Chains A and B, each alone.
Chain A
Amino acid sequence: SQKIEQNSEALNIQEGKTATLTCNYTNYSPAYLQWYRQDPGRGPVFLLLIRENEKEKRKERLKVTFDTTLKQSLFHITASQPADSATYLCALAGYSSASKIIFGSGTRLSIRP
């Protein structure tokens, strides 16, 4: 069955450093992969989307890479700030316009001042 794994439940880093989160998947060939931020008690907030034919995407301090051979995506936050502390979710989608979206269980990122 399709499976998504995010490398760790929790990650603690020092403010100003780069946070790197990993998303691995098996038994799936997604059309695209997304990253979301979720704060406690709130709905996920879309951050970035990367398609299967793209290697890298950037948005301000965020960078996503996608390796369909390794079946892995890396999500980087550069110059991290305490306000970046949240749970980050990766999600995979198929090719149809309203396809099923599969979410990973998330990595809880804490940035200490």
Chain B
Amino acid sequence: EPEVTQTPSHQVTQMGQEVILRCVPISNHLYFYWYRQILGQKVEFLVSFYNNEISEKSEIFDDQFSVERPDGSNFTLKIRSTKLEDSAMYFCASVDYNEQFFGPGTRLTVL
């Protein structure tokens, strides 16, 4: 069964560094999402993406964040200058008929 994959599974970075989180959505899906989940807290919507454009974004998704689909398969989330509070699990999801298929997540730790 096709699944969403994410790399790396765990990323440790220093505050102020740039990180790129990678996702490979399910191949025939057209809508893609990024979420984050701070330890012990709720899943929070960051951004949705369709047709190579951002569809919606939350107030969390400020100028430090960007998304792109560089090659038609990968879907990336970039954080330009990480802060301590960016430490969280980041989940990618691809969507088929409103059903969201989540990846296993990337645990980002900012030191």
Contact = CB atoms under 8 A, between A and B. Distances in A.
A46 B101 contact: yes
A49 B42 contact: no
A106 B43 CA distance: 9
Which of A49, A91, A98, A104 gathers the greatest number of chain B CB atoms within 10 Å? A98
A93 B55 CA distance: 13
A43 B56 contact: no
Interface stretch (B13-21, B66-74, B77-85, B91-99): B91-99
Which of B49, B98, B99 gathers the greatest number of chain A CB atoms within 10 Å? B98
Interface string A44-75: 11100100000000000000000000000000
A91 B93 CA distance: 14
Contact of A100 (B31, B45, B101): B45
A34 B97 CA distance: 12
Nearest to B104: A43
Given A96-B56, A98-B95, A43 B102 contact: yes
| Tier of interface size on chain A | 20 to 34
Interface string B33-76: 10100000111110011100001101000000000000000000
Contacts of B42: 89, 103-106
Contacts of A104: 42
Nearest to A49: B98
A87 to B, nearest CB: 10
A38 B48 CA distance: 21
Given A97-B50, A100-B45, A44 B102 contact: yes
B104 A103 contact: no
8 shortest A-B CB distances, which residue pairs?
A43-B102, A98-B55, A98-B48, A103-B43, A105-B42, A98-B50, A100-B56, A98-B31
